[in-house]
């Protein structure tokens, strides 16, 4: 593909349109992110090299962002994370669509932010061979937005197209498939609002 087509494929991916995930520059960007994720995961917590790797892997982040390794990104560059935010062990972020994480967001172990969407019908989902012989498939993605001051407990999965409002708490093991309004405690599979967080919850 020429540079114009490459640009179009990236724009299509980020815009939520069906795109070719095996376009060579997208493959290169993913491989780069996977390599940087591996390098980050191999560093000790005290290794100053971790910040240098994050500068390459996840340049759109605020001050005092801390990611406990291991982490796994699809691209990294399409994720934005606000200052003082934190992710515990096994943070997975498939940022084929933009992922926006606010300030002071805390995520427990095994949190997954998954923007990719695959067709329901296998006739549309299965891989096929392009004219140039490369095997590919049809994919699209939906953005994820997590507001400031949220807490996502361990083993939470957020799927593409979801916005979690500011100040929410998402209970452990939840699968968030729909938007959660600001200031709510929500949990379950699928995740549902249980109640509002109020002054009665004050320590």
Residues known to be catalytic = 118
How far the first Cα of the chain sits from its last, in Å, is 58
Query: Which ranges in 58-169 belong to alpha helices (H)?
Result: 122-125
In degrees and rounded to multiples of 5, residue 106 shows phi and psi of -120, 135
CB 159 within 8 A of CB 141: no
Contact status, residue 114 vs residue 160, Cβ threshold 8 Å: yes
Collect all residues with Cβ–Cβ distance below 8 Å to 115 and sequence separation of at least 6: 94, 95, 96, 97, 98, 99, 141, 142, 143, 144, 160
Q: What are phi and psi of 125, to 5 degrees?
A: -90, -35
Backbone phi and psi for residue 68, each to the nearest 5 degrees, phi listed first = -75, 130
Pairing of strands 112-114, 135-136: unpaired
Give Cβ neighbours of residue 202 (< 8 Å, ≥ 6 apart). Answer: none
């Amino acid at each position: 593909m020429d540079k114009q087509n490459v640009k179009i494929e990236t724009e299509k991916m980020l815009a939520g349109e069906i795109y070719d995930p095996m376009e060579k520059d997208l493959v290169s960007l993913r491989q780069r992110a996977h390599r940087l994720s591996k390098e980050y995961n191999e560093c000790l917590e005290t290794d100053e090299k971790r910040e240098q790797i994050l500068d390459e892997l996840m340049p759109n982040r605020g001050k005092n962002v801390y990611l406990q390794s291991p982490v796994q990104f699809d691209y990294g560059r399409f994720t934005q994370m606000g200052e003082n935010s934190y992710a515990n062990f096994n943070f997975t972020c498939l940022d084929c669509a933009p992922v926006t994480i606010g300030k002071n967001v805390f995520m427990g172990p095994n949190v997954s932010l998954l923007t990719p969407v695959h067709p329901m019908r296998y006739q549309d989902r299965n891989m096929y061979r392009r004219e140039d012989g490369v095997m590919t498939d049809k994919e699209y993605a939906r953005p994820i937005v997590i507001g400031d001051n949220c807490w996502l407990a361990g083993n939470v999965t957020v799927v593409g197209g979801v916005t979690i409002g500011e100040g929410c708490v998402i209970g452990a093991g939840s699968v968030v498939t729909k938007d959660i309004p600001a200031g709510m405690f929500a949990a379950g599979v699928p995740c549902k609002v249980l109640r509002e967080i109020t002054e009665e919850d004050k320590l």
